[in-house]
Structure 1
Amino acid sequence: MTLATATAARCPALLIAAPASGQGKTTVTAALARLHARQGRRVRVFKCGPDFLDPHWHQLASGAPVHQLDLWMNGAADCAQRLHDAARDSDLILIEGVMGLFDGSPSAADLARHFGVPVLAVVDASAMAGTFGALAYGLRHYRPGLPWAGVLANRVGSARHADMLRDGLHDADDWMGALMRVQPGNAPTTAKAGAALLPERHLGLVAAHELDDSLQRLDAAADALAATPLGQMTLEDLQGWAVDFPAPASPVAVPALLAGRTVAVGRDAAFCFIYAANVQCLEQMGARVVFFSPLHDAALPDCYAVWLPGGYPELHTAQIAANTTMQASLRAHAEAGKPLWAECGGMMALFESITLADGSAAPLWGLLPGRVTMQKRLAALGPQQLTVAGHTLRGHTFHYSTSDSSAPVVARTARPHEAVAPDAGEALYQQGSIHASYFHAWFPSSPEAVAHLLGGQSKA
């Protein structure tokens, strides 16, 4: 059971990292969460950085909400509060890293050092032998003071291959086992042989709710992990990785700037990039949050404000264009002067048309003038901040499309620690009561700015 005191909560914790993207961090994290959750243990999973898609898998695996941890986007105090709260009620905390262990500023390694969380390195060892040991040694010792748990070899070809990898380690205690390549054909019957266990597309992993056999895929990964030393660890064994998570000295009180307001949040296959912490923040601000499907519902629910989050509108253009009653409902909402905040994919759906990657064009809802154009390469990626009504929201940008619009630009984002440039950063468009941008906002970073975008401080 989790041990806690008045000032700190103690819980076993691991940060699952890798030398680079694509090594299998998400699969291993979700498999480990699933393995312990189906044994009745209370598992909380966090994701380093601003990713939306990996948390879908982690929530399915753990059965608990998944929040992001980023020393810049959240701030250290917010991270500390979330970890402390999780540790009070959990048997195991897992944190999936982002990119490579030392990539970015701040990096996953910075988070591990800040909170004293041991690092488990996942290495795609499919094309290496003795170099595996050198890579593990470098990850462990590159930065002095890095808490360390060990290394797991991923996508291993055979038992003999695993022996070669283990024998190359400088420290035998680093060995957490070898995870053989797990393919959907090993368990789920709907996937093609040779396909990835967790499939991807242009913005990252396919979300768990889009596959009928998602839980079966996770069980296949958990079963494979159960054969490793890592997977065979008991709750008592895990206490060796226990971390004391202190309570923040001054917990931040969220002002009730949306008290009495109902905020309708779009949520379906096209609009699914929603931070669980953003919904939590809206509720802490006093809002009543209701969800609706922009694709399938005929009209908005009764509400004061609307949040259209990001997602994949480019994959659902026919349904968007066909839902003319939702289009009319959104237009009536805006014409009544009620707030509408649309970010990234949500903004894209409000333009007049979209040119897809194959060159074809499709109509959209037309609440904002202009069009968007899909590209085969990233248009923007990275952390961003946006100042709204004198308050600064932190977040990020990640999109494959560009926009061309005559809507007024009332602000622009900037990278961390950089000044706003007139023609750089993401535009914040304002058309009447509509605010829209490619910028994905982390609401807890500035409830005051969120209240401005959602009209919390204006008269009903």
Structure 2
Amino acid sequence: MAVDLHAFVLAGTGSGCGKTTVTLGLLSLMKKRGLRVQPCKVGPDYLDTGWHTAVCGTASRNLDSFMLPVPVLNALFCEQMQHADIAVIEGVMGLYDGYGTDPDYCSTAAMAKQLGCPVILLVDGKAVSTSIAATVMGFQHFDPSLNIAGVIVNRVNSESHYQLLKVAIERYCSVPVLGYVPRMEGVALPERHLGLVTARESVINQQPWQEFAETLERTLNIDALLALSQMDTQPVGEWPVLPAADAGAGLTLAIADDEAFNFYYPDNITLLERTGINIVRFSPLHDSHLPDCQMIWLGGGYPELHAEMLASNTCMLAQLRSAHQRGVAIYAECGGLMYLGSSLEDGNGDIWPMADIIPGHSKMGKRLTRFGYCEAQAVQQTLLSAPGEVLRGHEFHYSDFTPETPAVMDCRKVRDGKTLQAWSGGWQVGNTFASYLHVHFAQRPEMLNHWLAAARSAL
């Protein structure tokens, strides 16, 4: 079916090449042109999508092919494009970097081919001239079936430097160069141990960023980019079996949403809304009382940076304990697990009392405790899964949790067909389930049926 649709993937030669910064500039430029922009991010990252959302006002969507089957991911993408003129999709790591050594598994290149989107390759122009053509040519030849439709050169010193790079690339690679990004002071996204600082903690409309967008308007050929990003067809998708439209009717879900807890996939919230559930938001940091609810969701975030304030809000901790004792169906991911534990030791070595619903202690470390995709098989009934069911998700944390109760999931990390790690994780206490695993509900919507049934069982 022919559609009037624009979409492109901004890919890099590797991590740290400036993809997020340039993506934010492009989102700003597209929005200034009056286009309805749908930002997306390849992979499970919450932080980049938060910045995308802050810039263009539209919730950025994660396109994660480890957690989501091809038909489901395509269906979600097509649904978002019903309300957009263009999708700006930021890649992950380098163009061909995926999960393991297969460049067609969970990579930016694989996602571009799956969606039928052209790739705009971002290359580093620092301290190079004609050799940049060899870099571009290598990416072209590595997978000739991939549509690398254009190039943008980052960190260019001057107009004359850019012209040298442009001529070399177009002469030897026969691909158009769409412009360049000059080196600019003050244009950098703040970082911390998990990566970027969340968008809600910083301001992107400061003068250096405004000047950055104005500069890109002069140095990038947006008309040419739009012409290259025209898509003739949408990818073919198919929805999984979803919970009934009234499955959540009469139930209220309270979602933690503040500086400490704000890592949520928008698709997950949309799927919950489709069940007819009533969703309200609350702040474990600032509120003294929970909303009247039958379900609670504590997402990931940075509780370790706000541990003293979380511990001092004893009213909220008491409210959570009371809700747990009443059988409210509580689900916690990563930072939420740390909050529901007995105590949390922050990066300074200070120990703070937490909700004490999942007995155990969280301790911040100096390096990643676990990072990457993994599978988790339930060994008993949990809030999200029946025994034997497998969830696919992502872990990324510097903390470690020492539990005082047995784990309820067998977890493993498999790469290139080999099991690299195996461990136990996830803890179920009463009607409360918490783990380090971040999941996308669309992979197995039955998760929501389990959660909703648990909520109704306590009524």
Equivalent residue number for residue 240 of structure 2: 252
Residue type of the partner of 1:353?
S
| Pair 1:287–1:9, CA change in 2 (3 A) | farther
Residue type of the partner of 1:111?
M
Asked whether the 8 Å contact 2:74–2:237 carries over to 1, the reply is no
Asked whether the 8 Å contact 2:412–2:423 carries over to 1, the reply is yes
Give the TM-score, by structure 1 length: 0.89
CA distance in 1, matches of 2:204, 2:56: 16
CA shift at 1:358, angstroms? 3.4
CA shift at 1:166, angstroms? 2.0
Asked whether the 8 Å contact 2:75–2:237 carries over to 1, the reply is no
Equivalent residue number for residue 392 of structure 1: 390
Equivalent residue number for residue 429 of structure 2: 431
CA distance in 1, matches of 2:128, 2:261: 40
Alignment of 1:152-301 (within 5 A): 152-169=152-169, 170-171=172-173, 173-184=175-186, 196-214=187-205, 218-231=209-222, 233=223, 238-246=226-234, 248=236, 250-256=238-244, 257-301=247-291
Unpaired runs of at least 5, structure 2: 99-104, 378-384
Equivalent residue number for residue 70 of structure 1: 64
Partner-residue secondary structure (3-state), 1:178 = strand
| Pair 1:404–1:420, CA change in 2 (3 A) | farther
Asked whether the 8 Å contact 1:391–1:448 carries over to 2, the reply is no
| Pair 1:456–1:255, CA change in 2 (3 A) | farther
Asked whether the 8 Å contact 1:426–1:437 carries over to 2, the reply is no
| Pair 1:364–1:457, CA change in 2 (3 A) | closer
Equivalent residue number for residue 190 of structure 1: none
Unpaired runs of at least 5, structure 1: 1-6, 185-195
Match of 1:26 among 20, 25, 29: 20
CA distance in 1, matches of 2:9, 2:70: 16
Partner-residue secondary structure (3-state), 2:165 = helix
CA shift at 1:450, angstroms? 3.3
| Pair 1:286–1:216, CA change in 2 (3 A) | farther
1:16 aligned to 2:10? Answer: yes
CA distance in 2, matches of 1:70, 1:10: 25
| Pair 1:79–1:305, CA change in 2 (3 A) | same
| Pair 1:250–1:79, CA change in 2 (3 A) | closer
Residue type of the partner of 2:319?
S
Match of 1:92 among 72, 86, 89: 86
CA distance in 1, matches of 2:332, 2:77: 30
CA shift at 1:85, angstroms? 2.3
| Pair 1:316–1:71, CA change in 2 (3 A) | same
Match of 2:405 among 389, 404, 407: 407
> What per-residue deviation string (whole Å, max 9, x for no partner) do you get for residues 386-436 of structure 1?
342154333211111111111231113333689999x82450101112111
Asked whether the 8 Å contact 2:240–2:442 carries over to 1, the reply is no
Equivalent residue number for residue 118 of structure 1: 118
Residue type of the partner of 1:384?
C
CA distance in 1, matches of 2:394, 2:221: 34
CA shift at 1:459, angstroms? 4.9
Residue type of the partner of 1:210?
E
Aligned residue pair count: 440
CA distance in 2, matches of 1:435, 1:46: 29
Equivalent residue number for residue 3 of structure 1: none
CA distance in 1, matches of 2:307, 2:253: 25
Asked whether the 8 Å contact 1:381–1:399 carries over to 2, the reply is yes
Root-mean-square deviation over aligned CA pairs: 2.4
Residue type of the partner of 1:304?
Q
Equivalent residue number for residue 363 of structure 1: 353
> What per-residue deviation string (whole Å, max 9, x for no partner) do you get for residues 140-174 of structure 1?
22102101221111122222332332233123643
Asked whether the 8 Å contact 2:118–2:228 carries over to 1, the reply is no
CA shift at 1:121, angstroms? 1.0
Partner-residue secondary structure (3-state), 2:123 = strand
| Pair 1:245–1:287, CA change in 2 (3 A) | farther
Match of 1:304 among 284, 291, 294: 294
Residue type of the partner of 2:61?
H
Asked whether the 8 Å contact 1:378–1:398 carries over to 2, the reply is yes
Asked whether the 8 Å contact 2:136–2:173 carries over to 1, the reply is no
Match of 1:331 among 321, 334, 353: 321
Equivalent residue number for residue 444 of structure 1: 442
Alignment of 1:31-46 (within 5 A): 31-46=25-40
> What per-residue deviation string (whole Å, max 9, x for no partner) do you get for residues 170-202 of structure 1?
236431211012333xxxxxxxxxxx5211111
Asked whether the 8 Å contact 2:149–2:175 carries over to 1, the reply is no
CA distance in 2, matches of 1:285, 1:218: 40
Equivalent residue number for residue 380 of structure 2: none
CA shift at 1:255, angstroms? 1.0
- Comparing 148-157 and 388-397, the one that deviates more: 388-397
